[in-house]
């Protein structure tokens, strides 16, 4: 299994050449942006030219959206590389991409949804070759380790550190982060501030994520990010986060028996990951925390956290949305998310409580 996965990855990479037409598609959070930046640079070094297409989708999803497929077709892409989202959770979408592109390479650390691999489609996840629990092996570190088998990426170790800290995994990789801080003449605190900058752009100016990824990929070190125009978003972000955090403290609901902390709020900003990370890390690492965001549409989105692994947040949410129309959920054991129609919210909550017993 171990050699299979790594040698399969190696063959997929060796088949990418200067004449290949490559698209890179990434997730939108700090790990997704960082793994995108590292993969972008790895491809540039590997083939002496940048990818033909960098796709930043309009919202978080495990699918390749129709407008992305259109770009892939019109740019005559034959190699598609997907980082940090489980495209195998959307088998129809993955199949469609496999019919258009000669090679599809998915590099991800979410649950393995058991998509049947074939000569055109190769999926690699930590669980295929490593003992590290997949949520603790963020895609930034994964692409850094995997592509380092082919090209020297040591100048970008700080980007891998930013990405893995974005997925809350400093504890797992403390030595690596310490070394990359030293190598980039920065500190863990500065790298952590870069995470906050990416999260602020994801929340307040998601249309800028594509240019931010390119900016990070071309930066010589974290200082460039800290001194950039993007850092200007931090203040607004902190303000919004603090005010929701205060609201949480007053309005949260705690269900002792289920070990559940439940919070519903309204916001037009896509702020729920940042908010729930703060709540879970600072107040309730040992309880199941669920935050439900109403953005004024006919759907609501939600996130769940459970850091002691005693509840599988991804399976809890997947089971709680089963059968609902226009609904979806997924993610990691300690961190997951999804959305449902607003009309199903009370049934969703009842199911969560029931599932937690
Ligand atoms: Mn990730």
Helix or strand (DSSP H, E) at 302:
strand 299-305
Angstrom distances, CA of residue 18 to CA of 21, 54, 71, 135? 8, 16, 20, 33
Q: How far is the CA of 55 from the centre of ligand 1 (A)?
A: 17
pLDDT at position 349 is: 98
Instruction: Give φ, ψ of 339 to 5 degrees.
Output: -145, 155
Q: How far is the CA of 82 from the centre of ligand 1 (A)?
A: 12
Q: How far is the CA of 257 from the centre of ligand 1 (A)?
A: 31
Q: How confident is the model at residue 118 (pLDDT cuts 50, 70, 90)?
A: confident
Q: How far is the CA of 84 from the centre of ligand 1 (A)?
A: 5
What mean pLDDT is predicted for residues 29-36? 98
Report the percent of the chain where pLDDT is more than 70: 99
Q: 55: which 2 tokens?
A: 């796709």
Q: How far is the CA of 69 from the centre of ligand 1 (A)?
A: 23
Q: How far is the CA of 6 from the centre of ligand 1 (A)?
A: 20
Helices (H), the chain: 2-14, 30-47, 66-74, 91-100, 139-147, 157-166, 174-183, 188-204, 209-218, 222-226, 234-251, 272-282, 313-321, 345-356
Q: How far is the CA of 85 from the centre of ligand 1 (A)?
A: 7
Asked if residue 1 has pLDDT above 80, the reply is no
pLDDT at position 2 is: 55
Residue-averaged pLDDT of the chain: 96
Q: How far is the CA of 137 from the centre of ligand 1 (A)?
A: 8
Q: Locate tokens 């997907």: which residue? A: 82
What the chain holds in terms of domains, given with CATH numbers, is: 2-156+209-217 (3.90.1640.30), 252-356 (3.10.310.40)
Q: How far is the CA of 162 from the centre of ligand 1 (A)?
A: 11
Angle at 324 between CA 204 and CA 106, to 5 degrees: 60
Q: How confident is the model at residue 119 (pLDDT cuts 50, 70, 90)?
A: confident
Nearest to 88 by CA among 53, 63, 54, 69: 63
Is residue 167 within 8 Å of 134, Cβ to Cβ? Answer: no
Q: Alpha carbon 24 to chain centroid distance? A: 14
What mean pLDDT is predicted for residues 140-154? 98
Q: CA 314 to CA 343: how far, in whole Å?
A: 22
Q: How far is the CA of 163 from the centre of ligand 1 (A)?
A: 8
Angstrom distances, CA of residue 44 to CA of 147, 164, 262, 296? 12, 22, 45, 42
Is residue 121 within 8 Å of 86, Cβ to Cβ? Answer: no
Q: How confident is the model at residue 3 (pLDDT cuts 50, 70, 90)?
A: low
54: β partners: 24
Q: How far is the CA of 86 from the centre of ligand 1 (A)?
A: 10
Nearest to 83 by CA among 11, 156, 141: 141
Q: How far is the CA of 139 from the centre of ligand 1 (A)?
A: 5
What mean pLDDT is predicted for residues 20-40? 98
Antiparallel, parallel or unpaired: β 253-255 and 79-83: unpaired
What mean pLDDT is predicted for residues 59-65? 94
DSSP readout, 168-221?
A: T-TTTTHHHHHHHHHHTT--HHHHHHHHHHHHHHHHH-GGGHHHHHHHHHH-SS
Q: How far is the CA of 127 from the centre of ligand 1 (A)?
A: 14
- Buried (b) or exposed (e) across 264-302, using 16+ Cβ within 10 A? bbebebbbbbbbbbebbeeebeebbbbbbbbeeeebbbb
Q: How far is the CA of 31 from the centre of ligand 1 (A)?
A: 5
- The pocket of ion ligand 1, defined by CB under 5 A, consists of 31, 84, 138-139, 167
Q: How far is the CA of 209 from the centre of ligand 1 (A)?
A: 16
What mean pLDDT is predicted for residues 255-274? 96
Q: Locate tokens 């259109």: which residue? A: 70
pLDDT at position 121 is: 95
pLDDT at position 271 is: 94
Nearest to 279 by CA among 266, 269, 270, 288: 288
Nearest to 324 by CA among 291, 356, 352, 347: 347
Q: How far is the CA of 167 from the centre of ligand 1 (A)?
A: 6
Using one digit for the tens of pLDDT, what is the confidence trace for 274-304? 999 999 999 999 999 999 999 999 999 999 9
Using one digit for the tens of pLDDT, what is the confidence trace for 91-105? 999 999 999 999 999
pLDDT at position 135 is: 96
Report the percent of the chain where pLDDT is more than 90: 97
Instruction: Give φ, ψ of 60 to 5 degrees.
Output: -65, 130
């Amino acid at each position: 299994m171990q050699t299979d996965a790594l040698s399969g990855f190696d063959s997929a990479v060796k088949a990418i050449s200067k004449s290949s037409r490559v698209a890179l598609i990434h997730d939108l959070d700090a790990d997704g942006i960082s793994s995108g930046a590292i993969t972008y640079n790895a491809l540039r070094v590997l083939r002496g030219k940048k990818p033909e297409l960098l796709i930043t989708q309009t919202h978080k999803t495990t699918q390749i959206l129709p407008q992305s497929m259109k770009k892939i077709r019109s740019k005559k892409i034959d190699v598609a590389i997907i980082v940090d989202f489980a495209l195998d959770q959307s088998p129809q979408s993955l199949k469609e991409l496999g019919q258009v592109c000669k090679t599809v390479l998915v590099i991800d650390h979410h649950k393995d949804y058991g998509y049947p691999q074939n000569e055109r489609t190769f999926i690699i996840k930590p669980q295929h070759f490593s003992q590290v629990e997949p949520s603790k092996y963020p895609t930034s570190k994964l692409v850094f380790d995997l592509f380092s088998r082919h090209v020297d990426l040591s100048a970008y170790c700080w980007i891998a550190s930013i990405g893995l800290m974005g997925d809350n995994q400093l504890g797992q990789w403390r030595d690596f982060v310490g070394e990359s801080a030293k190598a980039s003449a920065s500190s863990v605190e500065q790298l952590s501030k870069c995470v906050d900058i990416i999260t602020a752009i994801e929340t307040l100016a998601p249309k800028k994520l594509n240019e931010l990824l390119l900016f990070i990929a071309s930066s010589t070190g974290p200082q460039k990010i800290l001194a950039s125009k993007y850092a200007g978003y931090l203040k607004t972000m902190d303000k919004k986060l603090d005010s929701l955090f205060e609201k949480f403290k007053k309005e949260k609901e705690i269900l002792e028996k289920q070990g559940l902390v439940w919070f519903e709020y309204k916001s037009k900003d896509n702020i729920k990951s940042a908010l729930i990370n703060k709540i879970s890390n600072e107040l309730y690492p040992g309880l199941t925390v669920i935050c439900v965001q109403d953005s004024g549409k006919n759907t609501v989105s939600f996130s769940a956290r459970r850091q002691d692994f005693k509840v599988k947040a991804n399976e809890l949410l997947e089971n709680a949305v089963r059968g609902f129309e226009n609904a979806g959920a997924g993610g990691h054991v300690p961190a997951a998310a999804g959305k449902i129609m607003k009309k199903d919210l009370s049934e969703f909550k009842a199911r969560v409580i029931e599932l937690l017993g």
